[in-house]
Amino acid sequence: MNHKVTKAKIKMLDMGIIPAFTASELVEMMSSLDREQQRIVKRKFRKQWRKLLKSRPDLENLLIDKRELKPSDRSIRNRSIFLVRDILKQSS
């Protein structure tokens, strides 16, 4: 594992979100948590996502469908991709 990825995973842990880069990693790590811990981790992810969205308002048009009341699986995946990408960029 290179230094950039390691630094990004440490930063993700410091943020309180799961340090996963793939969906399978995320599912595996989430399944090891109890319901309350999962709720907390999801809330922290949403907080970081909103923070990213405030700094990059252009993402709102790309990733949020205002017709949806609840984000689709695709939207959630895309949000996580952009957040992880941003964390990797900050770690370099």
Q: Where are the domains of the chain?
A: 3-91
In the predicted model, what is the mean pLDDT of residues 5-12?
Answer: 90
Question: Measured over all CA atoms, what is the biggest interatomic distance in the chain, rounded to whole angstroms?
Answer: 41
The whole-chain average pLDDT of the chain stands at: 87
In the predicted model, what is the mean pLDDT of residues 7-26?
Answer: 90
Check pLDDT > 70 for residue 1. no
Counting beta carbons within 10 angstroms of the beta carbon of residue 87, is it exposed (0 to 12), middle (13 to 18) or buried (19 or more)? buried
Chain segment 67-78, per-residue pLDDT in tens: 777 877 888 888
What is the model's pTM? 0.80
Chain segment 36-76, per-residue pLDDT in tens: 999 999 999 999 988 998 999 888 877 777 777 787 788 88
The DSSP annotation for 7-45 comes to HHHHHHHHHTS---SSHHHHHHHHHTS-HHHHHHHHHHH
